[in-house]
Structure formats: C-alpha cells, structure tokens
Amino acid sequence: MTSFLAEIIGTMLLIILGDGVVGGVVLKETKSNNSGWIVITFGWGLAVAIAAYSVGKYSGAHLNPALTLALATIGKFDWANVPTYIAAQFIGGFIGAVIVYLHYLPHWERTEDKDAKLSVFCCMPAIRNPIANFISEVIGTFVLVLGILAIGANEFAQGLNPLIVGFLVISIGLSLGGTTGYAINPARDLAPRIAHFLLPIPNKRDSDWGYAWIPVVAPMVGGLLGAVIYQSLF
C-alpha cells in the first residue's frame, strides 16, 4: 500500500466513523438519535484511533493537513511529500462523506432541521463570532499537534500510540469542542462540506461557505504553533 493510498483510506475511515457518529446523533429516527455530545466525542476519538491503526504502518497516519504541514515545518516530514499527503487526505475525506450520505439515505428526508443535516458533514459554531471561533480552532489544533508530538516522545507498549491519540481527541472534544465542533483538521471539514454542497440531500441548506475558511486556516495556524513550540521547548 502506498502512502498516498493509505492516506486516502485512513481519512476515508476517519470520516465514515466520525461523521457517521454525528449522523447517528442528529438525524431523525436513528436508534442513536439525541444520544448527545459525549457520544460524538467518543465516536470521533475512536474514529481517529481506528483510522490510525489501519494505515499507520504505511503512511504514518497523518490524516490531517494541519499535522502534515506542522511536521514538515519542524523537519519531521519531507516537504516533497506534503502535496501528495494533503491531496490524499481531501480525497479520502470526500469519499468518506459520500459513504456517510449513502449510509443514512432514508434519514435525510425524515430530518427537518437543515442545520443538523449540515452538521453531519462539517462544523458549525455554537455562537457565530469569527474571531472567537478562529481562536477556538487554533487552540484545539495547537493542543492536538503538541499532544501528538508529546505522546510520540513516550515509550508505550507496542501499538498503543494510536489509542492514546484517540483519547487525546476525545479530551479535546470534551474540553474544547463545544464552541465550534472542533474541526482541528481542514480535510475533515472542507472535503465533507464540498460533499454536502454536491450531494442531492433533500431540503438541505447552503453549505455555509462564509464560515468555511475558519476550519481550514485556523487548524493550520494552531498546528504550526503546536509543532514549533514543542520543538523549541524539547
């Protein structure tokens, strides 16, 4: 398996399981409807862990352009491979979102809330304030990248690292995710947002392009800060 294909498959799995848990919680007449934020955060954390276990051997399981860019910036990843990884992550994110759409096919029409349908695919702020929303995403991704680098510096039993990173994502979601939905990953937000725009979802709203730049730019900034600060301290 090439690293390009691995990043596609890994990011696809991430979105299937991550957006999938959101769909189960917010779409009407699913058995998990209204099961709450804790279910979503644990679902996303497990999604990260499973995706990382699936392809980590082949690509390092970046699954996130903010992480790829951050690692390249501090010399832990070859700049020549950055475009390939980021392209793969966006492709995988889009494919994963289409699969989630197909999985919940009868539930889109039963769900009247247009915002809920959009939230399956991408993040929406609890309080729309671009400056505050940007800061929240910077902080969340700063913690993610700093945490990943710190976890990597520890010695665990073989194969345990992806699970610990999954718990890191759960922690970020529980502690910091309530403001914006914690995208902390441009491919996790923008690729499924494009899928929402293109897919024939019954009675859907616009894809909120006015907000879409924040879950792309802010994680890049936060990831760079996390990597640079970690490197400077350790």
149, 161 in Cβ contact below 8 A?
A: no
Q: What is the model's pLDDT at position 10?
A: 98
97, 120 in Cβ contact below 8 A?
A: no
**Exposure string (b/e) for 158-185, b if CB count within 10 Å is 16 or more?**
eeebbbebbbbbbbbbbebbebbbbbbb
The pTM for the full model equals 0.97
Calpha distance 177→169 (Å, rounded): 10
Q: What is the model's pLDDT at position 63?
A: 98
Q: CB-side exposure of 139: number of CA atoms within 13 Å? A: 15
Instruction: Give 33's DSSP letter.
Output: T
At residue 70, the 3 state secondary structure works out as helix
Q: What is the model's pLDDT at position 55?
A: 97
Helix (H) or strand (E) holding 139: helix 130-152
Calpha distance 29→14 (Å, rounded): 24
- Domains of the chain plus CATH, in order, are 3-233 (1.20.1080.10)
At residue 193, the 3 state secondary structure works out as helix
64, 187 in Cβ contact below 8 A?
A: yes
| Cα separations in angstroms, 162 against 7, 12, 48, 62 | 15, 17, 8, 11
The segments of the chain whose pLDDT lies below 70 read 1
pLDDT single digits (tens) 68-111: 999 999 999 999 999 999 999 999 999 999 999 999 999 999 99
